[in-house]
């Protein structure tokens, strides 16, 4: 029973938009009105971040083409900090928290007043933090990029603001977990709703991972930027950051996987392929997302080759649940396509609802994840990391993964989630605009990311404004690819404008009505779900053990070997 | 929405080809990069 | 828990592929020595100019070592010393580099020489430069406003152009 709801709120059946596969009772189960308000608050921030961050991205590709200079003394790296923070940290965290909250409320039932209050406290802490950090970036006191590596030293308010964002997200995550625990208490011995379970796994992973960055900020960056201590252990701070940083990317990815596993099957009119396998893959993500952060530090001094390689091996394990996901997705599509009469080996493919933006836009994301994942395996391949480390290839890579696979899935979800929350509907006009945006995104990203991958292999560095490097021939070659990136980036920005247009329509102008929050049911005969998959104690112990194995020695080594710390620098 | 029995006899030939296709894409990209790595000093 | 036959095939195929990748890079690293920079050498980053070998940056021919040349390089915001490095093609070179201030990158574009330079640490890499040509050295880690202005050049020249070899 994955769609079980305890205190479900059944609303009266109203007119439903035509051409959608809604026939079950699920369409009637709504997110609680008060919870909807909280979830919507997140959407406002997330899509504002998309617009401003997207504009920064557009300016970046223009500057890097060499044909444009920023006015009013604005710095390239200031803009890049805005882009990275708003899109990498703010858009993602807000969307995730809003979506997960709605998913928990939809599948486990409305939050209690206490739980909801916690949600609002978290939301406001995050928002105060965002405003504080953004102010420092605008004042040019924090052009340290979204990874804020020491010993470049930002204003302490920037670090404090980001810390508030993390703490706020913890509190929100806690309120979601409390709702899940309540459900388990009220429904002893039953398998919990899959979406709620997945949200809980993602929150747990987030707690354990963000502990690293919390320690970095509280015990290193804050005292140091406040002048309480003079020096900072740079390598330790980077290692703590990346202990967090790789899991961060899985924190972004898992909500997209929730949509792929649970929502998309319903959108196409099919069933969940396997409840148990979906849970298993999430547990594997929980285990292997964290003890792998050193794969971002493969070319750094001070960490032993053996331990780097060990984390490379663990990194390869985290690919396995993605392989499982790929199979589940195709199987869901094929089963449904055959049900609709698709014949032959690939005939089912044409039967899928290609005109439905709730399917098409995330599907484009799934396709992007194939080259994105393949590139990721190259990045993680120990010495092969030297080929691409800190080149623009890396930027090309994560614009396929996070900035296509993940965000297109978020957008595809927003196209039903926002109207579901506002009590409006996605009209067919908006639906086709949304599809247009998805296609524009695919085209723009193919050009931009493709050019980034090639230029990166030719050696072009990332995080770099326009430069001829003293007239170097190699640099001249990179610049021709930067032109291509500017063309792709412009198309992407147009796509963002279209998406913002659709979102604005869904928020305030779309016709009143009921939009379904799609939640798939398990296919009959899909097998039962072993209780072990919900035994968080067991998985927690394995997780801690893996972290200790992967990190004890490297951290001990860093501490015992460490040179004198660094003073702060403000070089922008 | 037919009630679908999901058993090992489900026809998932297309899925088999699609996933193995992904595997081959991964192998090709990785091999090309490895080759480039070996080629360079 | 029920797993479809084809899913088993796929997972076996996928996982074996990953294991083969790991074996290839593992053997090439631990057997053939193709490691990235893993140096444990520490230094006082505020006194780099006084500490050997960084008191004398440049290209040095060496005898009796596993390599023929040592290239000593110092990075600081926003330049490299020296601005130009010349080594004969086919020689085995040990690159040793560090930073005097923030984190910088040391990437010889179009080659596998790519390492982070972090304050307090010396990074190193040994390689045989087997292709002649001019390679731009760029800083690939953001270090401040002049980050993209930071470069140097590695010239790998034909052996007979160089009298000492
Ligand atoms: C209009 C669409 C976009 C354009 C034109 C664009 C362009 C760029 C460019 C050119 C860079 C690299 C700049 C450099 O290394 O110097 C960059 C970095 C980045 N982008 Fe985007 N991007 C877009 C959308 C997105 C989206 C939707 C996300 C995430 C959800 C995203 C996340 C990032 C991140 C995290 C960085 C890294 C920043 C850093 O290195 O500090 N971008 N983007
Ligand atoms: Cu990672
Ligand atoms: Cu730099």
Residue A7 clears pLDDT 70, i.e. is over it: no
Pick the CATH number of A29-343+350-560 from 1.20.1600.10, 1.20.210.10, 3.40.50.720, 1.10.1270.20: 1.20.210.10
Q: What is the pLDDT of residue A523?
A: 74
For chain A, what percent of residues have pLDDT higher than 70? 94
**A526 pLDDT tier (thresholds 50, 70, 90):** low
Q: Where are the domains of chain A?
A: 29-343+350-560
Active site residues of A: 246, 250, 397-399, 462-463
How far, in Å, are A38, A92, A323, A333 from residue A282 at the CA level? Answer: 26, 19, 12, 20
What is the three-class DSSP state of C92? strand
Task: Give the separation between CA A157 and CA A159, rounded to whole angstroms.
Answer: 5
Task: Give the separation between CA A171 and CA A184, rounded to whole angstroms.
Answer: 20
Q: What is the pLDDT of residue A13?
A: 35
Which residues does chain A have within 8 Å of residue C112's beta carbon, measured at their own beta carbons?
383, 386-387
| CA A83 to ligand 1 centroid distance, Å | 6
CATH number 3.40.190.10 is the correct assignment for the domain at C45-157: no
Average pLDDT over residues A560-568: 91
Residue A533 clears pLDDT 90, i.e. is over it: no
Q: Residue A430's beta-bridge partner residues?
A: none
pLDDT digits (tens, 9 = 90+) for B8-20: 457 888 999 999 9
Let me know how long chain A is.
572
Interface of A with C in 273-332 (CB under 8 A): 274, 276-277, 280, 297-305, 308-309, 312-313, 316, 319-320, 323-324, 326-327, 331
**A25 pLDDT tier (thresholds 50, 70, 90):** very low
Which residues does chain B have within 8 Å of residue A375's beta carbon, measured at their own beta carbons?
29
Residue A5 clears pLDDT 70, i.e. is over it: no
Residue A70 clears pLDDT 60, i.e. is over it: yes
Closest-CA residue to A293 (of A311, A272, A273)? A311
Q: Are strands C69-76 and C92-99 parallel, antiparallel or unpaired?
A: parallel
Reported pTM: 0.93
Q: How far is B8 from chain C (nearest CA, A)?
A: 5
Residue A179 clears pLDDT 90, i.e. is over it: yes
Residue reference for tokens 């590596």: A149
Q: How many Å from the N-terminal Cα to the C-terminal Cα in chain A?
A: 56
Residue reference for tokens 């504009």: A55
Closest-CA residue to A271 (of A334, A360, A351)? A334
A508 or A24: which leads in pLDDT: A508
**C161 pLDDT tier (thresholds 50, 70, 90):** low
Q: Which two tokens stand for residue A562?
A: 């460490």
Residue B4 clears pLDDT 50, i.e. is over it: no
Residue A72 clears pLDDT 90, i.e. is over it: no
Residue nearest to atom 15 of ligand 1 (CA): A463
Which residues does chain A have within 8 Å of residue C97's beta carbon, measured at their own beta carbons?
none
How far, in Å, are A336, A340, A343, A357, A428 from residue A351 at the CA level? Answer: 8, 7, 10, 15, 19
pLDDT digits (tens, 9 = 90+) for A259-272: 999 999 999 999 89
pLDDT digits (tens, 9 = 90+) for C110-120: 999 999 999 99
**C160 pLDDT tier (thresholds 50, 70, 90):** low
Q: What is the pLDDT of residue A527?
A: 66
A266 lines ligand 1 (CB under 6 A): no
Residue A394 clears pLDDT 60, i.e. is over it: yes
pLDDT digits (tens, 9 = 90+) for A331-377: 999 999 998 988 888 888 989 999 999 999 999 999 999 999 999 99
Q: Give me the DSSP letters along A312-379.
A: HHHHHHTTHHHHHHHHHHHHHHHHHHHHTT--TTTGGGGGS-TT-HHHHHHHHHHHHHHHHHHHHHHH
Residues 6+ apart with CB under 8 A from B24: none
Residue A79 clears pLDDT 70, i.e. is over it: yes
Q: Which two tokens stand for residue C31?
A: 């057997």
Task: Give the separation between CA C43 and CA C75, rounded to whole angstroms.
Answer: 14
Q: What is the pLDDT of residue A123?
A: 97
pLDDT digits (tens, 9 = 90+) for A413-468: 999 999 999 999 999 999 999 999 999 999 999 999 999 999 999 999 999 999 99
Q: How far is C25 from chain B (nearest CA, A)?
A: 9
What is the three-class DSSP state of C107? strand
DSSP letter for A528, please: P
- Other Cβ atoms closer than 10 A to A545: 12
Q: What is the pLDDT of residue A188?
A: 87
């Amino acid at each position: 029973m994955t769609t079980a709801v305890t205190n479900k709120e059944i609303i009266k059946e109203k007119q439903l938009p035509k051409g959608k596969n809604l026939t079950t009772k699920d369409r009637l189960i709504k997110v609680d009105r008060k919870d909807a308000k909280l979830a919507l608050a997140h959407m406002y921030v997330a899509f504002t971040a998309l617009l401003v961050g997207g504009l920064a991205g557009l300016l970046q590709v223009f500057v890097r083409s060499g044909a444009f200079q920023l006015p009013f003394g604005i710095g390239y790296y200031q803009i890049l900090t805005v882009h990275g923070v708003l899109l990498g940290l703010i858009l993602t965290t807000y969307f995730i928290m809003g979506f997960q909250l709605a998913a928990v409320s939809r599948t486990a039932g409305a939050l209690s007043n206490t739980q909801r209050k916690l949600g609002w406290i978290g939301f406001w802490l995050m928002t105060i933090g965002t405003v504080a950090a953004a102010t420092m970036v605008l004042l040019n006191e924090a052009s340290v990029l979204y990874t804020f590596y020491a010993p470049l030293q930002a204003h302490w308010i920037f670090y404090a603001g980001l810390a508030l964002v993390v703490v706020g997200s913890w509190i929100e995550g806690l309120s979601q977990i409390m709702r899940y625990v309540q459900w388990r208490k009220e429904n002893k011995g039953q398998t919990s709703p899959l979406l709620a379970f997945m949200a809980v796994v993602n929150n747990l992973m987030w707690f354990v991972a963000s502990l690293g960055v919390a320690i970095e900020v509280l015990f290193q960056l804050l005292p140091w930027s406040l002048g309480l201590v003079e020096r900072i252990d740079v390598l330790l701070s980077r290692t703590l950051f990346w202990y967090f940083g790789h899991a961060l990317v899985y924190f972004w990815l898992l909500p997209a996987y929730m949509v792929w596993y649970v929502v998309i099957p319903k959108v196409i009119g099919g069933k969940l392929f396997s409840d148990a396998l979906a849970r298993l893959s999430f547990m594997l993500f929980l285990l292997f997302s964290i003890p792998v952060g050193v794969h971002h530090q493969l070319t750094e001094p001070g960490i032993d080759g053996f331990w780097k390689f060990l984390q490379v091996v663990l990194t390869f394990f985290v690919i396995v649940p993605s392989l499982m996901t790929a199979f589940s997705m195709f199987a869901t599509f094929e089963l449904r396509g055959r049900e609709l009469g698709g014949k032959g080996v690939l005939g089912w493919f044409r039967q899928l609802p290609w005109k439905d933006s709730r399917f098409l836009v995330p599907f484009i994301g799934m396709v992007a994840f194939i080259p994105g994942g393949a590139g990721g395996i190259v990045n993680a391949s120990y010495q092969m990391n030297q080929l691409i480390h800190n080149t623009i290839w890396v930027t090309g890579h994560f614009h396929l993964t996070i900035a296509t696979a993940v965000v297109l899935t978020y957008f595809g979800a927003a196209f039903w989630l926002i109207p579901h929350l506002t009590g409006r509907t996605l009209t067919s006009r908006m639906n086709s605009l949304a599809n247009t945006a998805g296609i524009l995104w695919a085209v723009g990203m193919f050009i931009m990311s493709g050019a980034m991958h090639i230029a990166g292999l030719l050696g072009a560095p990332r995080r770099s404004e326009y430069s001829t490097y003293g007239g170097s021939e190699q640099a001249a070659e990179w610049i021709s690819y930067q032109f291509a990136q500017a063309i792709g980036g412009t198309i992407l920005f147009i796509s963002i404008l279209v998406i913002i247009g659709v979102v604005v329509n869904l928020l305030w102008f779309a016709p009143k009505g009921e939009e379904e929050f799609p939640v798939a049911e398990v296919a009959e005969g899909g097998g039962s779900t072993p209780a072990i998959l919900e035994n968080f104690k067991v998985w927690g112990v394995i997780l801690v053990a893996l972290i200790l194995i992967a990190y004890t020695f490297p951290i001990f080594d860093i501490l015992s070997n460490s040179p004198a710390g660094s003073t702060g620098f403000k070089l922008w | 929405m037919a009630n679908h029995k999901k058993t090992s006899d489900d026809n998932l030939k297309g899925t088999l080809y699609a996933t193995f296709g992904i595997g081959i894409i991964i192998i090709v990209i990785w091999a090309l990069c490895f080759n480039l790595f070996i080629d360079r000093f | 828990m029920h797993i479809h036959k084809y899913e088993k095939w796929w997972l076996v195929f996928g996982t074996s592929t990953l294991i083969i990748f790991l074996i290839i890079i593992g053997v090439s690293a631990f057997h053939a020595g193709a490691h990235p920079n893993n140096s444990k050498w520490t230094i006082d980053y505020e006194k780099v100019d006084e500490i050997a070998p960084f008191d004398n940056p440049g290209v040095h021919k060496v005898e009796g070592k596993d390599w023929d040349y040592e290239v000593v390089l110092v990075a600081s915001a926003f330049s490299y010393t020296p601005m130009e490095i010349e080594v004969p093609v086919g020689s085995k070179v040990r690159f040793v580099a560090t930073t005097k201030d923030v984190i910088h990158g040391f990437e010889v574009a179009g080659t596998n020489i790519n390492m982070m330079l972090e304050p307090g640490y010396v990074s190193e890499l040994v390689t045989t430069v087997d292709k002649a040509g001019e390679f731009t050295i760029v800083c690939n880690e953001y270090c401040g406003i002049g980050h993209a202005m930071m470069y140097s050049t590695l010239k790998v020249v034909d052996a007979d152009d160089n009298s000492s070899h």
